[in-house]
Structure 1
Amino acid sequence: MEDVPAHLLIAAELRAQIMAGNLEPGAQLPSTAQLMDQFGAATSTVQAALRALKKEGFLDSHRGKGVFVKASPLAVVDVAAYYDPASRGVTYKLLDVAEVRPPADVARALGEDLAVLRYRRTDRDGTPVELSWSYYPLSLVAGTALTGRTKIRGGAPAVLAELGYPEREFTDRISTRAATAEEIERLNIPPGVPVLRQFRVIYSDDARPVEVSVIVKAGNRFELTYRQVIPTEEA
């Protein structure tokens, strides 16, 4: 771990303890001196780690009292849900709309080499938390509201339904990776924090792909949940 700055390692350990519930909201962290002893680090290194976690929303400090764990900044998302049901405080900003040649994996999923891209950022309570690149087959949506830069009543599903391609089901592939420079800047991601990447393909009737979305979430702000029914073993 020689290439990883010491303060990031300390922040990662404390973040893991908070996310695991070992340090609950309202709990006071050990003093700087105690953390120095625990991690064998200098004052400046410990303070840098604490600053990083404060910036992420995990910690808060009170002058003369110490550093405390804040309520979890994580948004819990049901991976089986089409829309995030916890949408209070959520706003969207359209960053770009363009006709493009999509990335290779998107083109393969769409079955076409040309697409309309709608690129947007999602904010939760004023904090940027997600970027999404949504691609639609150009042959399907050319000349529709999806090519414009205005907000669409009912969103893409309404436009596709009007075209005779109602959205019926989707598949998700979820992975993690290091954040790109653009993602770090637009989502204000701290150094060393990975992103969650969802690759979502939405199908209409007859398994016709009508949308592919690449959704990137800051890994320190989301927790994914899912429920699976266990089949009863037949005798």
Structure 2
Amino acid sequence: MAAARQGRVAVWAQIAEDLRSKIADGTLAANRQLPTEADLTTQYGVARATVRQALTTLVNEGLIVPRAPRGYFVRHRKPLFYRPQTEFRPQPKTPEMDRFMADHSADGREPRQTIDVAIVSPPPDVMQRLRLEEGELALVRRRVRYLDGEPFNTNDSYYPLRLVQDTEIMHPVDIARGVNQVLAELGYPQVRALDEIYLRMPTPDEVRRLELAPGTPVACHICTGLCPDGTPVRVVVNILPGDRHVIVYERDGMTVDGDE
């Protein structure tokens, strides 16, 4: 560390970068235990508080996890491939599993979800997308989706209450044939979707629901479903932690952005 102490970069930041590099190149493999704080203190010739600051940084970046009383371990990263373009594909044939469950059961992971339903005054941005009148209520179906016990994303779907009042959409259970099909049966088929993706830091509620470590960014995917006449009937807000997802799009044709 003698050379590392030279320059303006803080020593704890240099230790963090050294450990980060070892994780990136596989020297410290997934699930491997890091040296103890005492060993790192000796290895780098610094105070224990300096080592702890470096380790805290890597925890906040989602690279390592503390497992008391054993110490710190390299986090096993197995991201979910999130595909917005699959929105309108047919539902799985197995009634007890929705699209998410079917996709990832076969991947060797254990999926589950929670579903809550409420009648709400929607947030202003949702109200605007659904073109609701002032004071008009919406129904929201809130999901937290898990893989192997870890919350991977949230999925909050808003509908004008006047369209779904007294329908099965109001029940906090999975709908085997899909909510899109229910809306079509009610006379509101969705033929187009407007997708928006925002990258930002999470809200306190998102941190709580997704059990996010400090400093974890999220992608916010907002999908507005539109009927043939352009009427919006559904707004879905998906929150995707940046350390757990890869967003994948498929496009037809050979044109690459920037290459006319």
Q: TM-score range by the shorter chain?
A: 0.7 to 0.9
Q: Does 1:99 align with 2:107?
A: no
Q: Identify the residue that residue 168 of structure 1 maps to in structure 2.
A: 191
| Mapping for residues 56-67 of structure 1, pairs under 5 Å | 56=62
Cα distance change of structure 1 residues 186 and 11 upon mapping to structure 2, 3 Å threshold: farther
The CA deviation at 1:24 is 7.6
Q: Identify the residue that residue 56 of structure 2 maps to in structure 1.
A: 48
Report the 3-state secondary structure (helix = DSSP H, G, I; strand = E; otherwise coil) of the residue aligned with 2:86: coil
Q: Identify the residue that residue 103 of structure 2 maps to in structure 1.
A: 86
Cα distance change of structure 1 residues 172 and 196 upon mapping to structure 2, 3 Å threshold: same
Q: Give the TM-score normalised by the residue count of structure 2.
A: 0.67
Q: Identify the residue that residue 230 of structure 2 maps to in structure 1.
A: 207
One-letter code aligned to 1:107: M
Q: Identify the residue that residue 171 of structure 2 maps to in structure 1.
A: 148
How far does the alpha carbon of each residue in 1:11-62 deviate from its partner, in whole angstroms, 9 at most, with x for none?
69966986xx544883777983598579xx8122234345556xx575699x
Cα distance change of structure 1 residues 71 and 25 upon mapping to structure 2, 3 Å threshold: farther
* Aligned-residue RMSD, C-alpha: 3.9
Q: Identify the residue that residue 82 of structure 2 maps to in structure 1.
A: 77
Query: Are the counterparts in 1 of residues 16 and 55 from structure 2 also a CA contact under 8 Å?
Result: no
Cα distance change of structure 1 residues 223 and 68 upon mapping to structure 2, 3 Å threshold: same
How far does the alpha carbon of each residue in 1:134-154 deviate from its partner, in whole angstroms, 9 at most, with x for none?
101122111111122333232
Aligned mates of 1:137, 1:9 — CA distance in 2: 53
State which of 186, 192, 199 in structure 1 corresponds to 2:209: 186
Cα distance change of structure 1 residues 47 and 107 upon mapping to structure 2, 3 Å threshold: closer
Cα distance change of structure 1 residues 153 and 86 upon mapping to structure 2, 3 Å threshold: closer
Report the 3-state secondary structure (helix = DSSP H, G, I; strand = E; otherwise coil) of the residue aligned with 2:208: helix
Q: Give the TM-score normalised by the residue count of structure 1.
A: 0.74
Report the 3-state secondary structure (helix = DSSP H, G, I; strand = E; otherwise coil) of the residue aligned with 1:161: helix
Aligned mates of 1:168, 1:14 — CA distance in 2: 49
**Unpaired segments of 5 or more residues in structure 1?**
1-5
Aligned mates of 2:193, 2:21 — CA distance in 1: 32
Aligned mates of 2:209, 2:162 — CA distance in 1: 31
Query: Are the counterparts in 1 of residues 117 and 172 from structure 2 also a CA contact under 8 Å?
Result: yes
Aligned mates of 1:87, 1:97 — CA distance in 2: 24
Q: Does 1:197 align with 2:220?
A: yes
Report the 3-state secondary structure (helix = DSSP H, G, I; strand = E; otherwise coil) of the residue aligned with 1:48: helix
More strand, by proportion:
1
